[in-house]
Amino acid sequence: MIDARRQTRRLIPVALLTLLSTLTTLAAHAESVLPVETWQTDNGAKVLFYATDSLPIVDAQLIFDAGSARDPK
């Protein structure tokens, strides 16, 4: 029983590294496949847009150059 636990504990880091490397590869592939349209609005906001018909989801992110983004590092 103890040997099985030790083997499981040894495999956890390997499994996590495998998962991380797979997700990184998939993310890089997704970025290279999707065409991104960019434009700037009249008030200077930069817009990045890509459309896909795979899922009926709208995802929006707003990032402002204010608040904690302006704090010194």
Q: Which domain holds residue 49?
A: 2-70
Per-residue pLDDT reduced to its tens digit, 15-31: 888 877 887 777 766 65
The DSSP-derived string for 22-57 is HHHHHHHHHHHHS--EEEE-TTS-EEEE---SSS--
Q: Is the pTM of this model over 0.85?
A: no
Q: How confident is the model at residue 33 (pLDDT cuts 50, 70, 90)?
A: low
Given this model, what pLDDT does residue 42 score? 92
**Total domain count, the chain:** 1
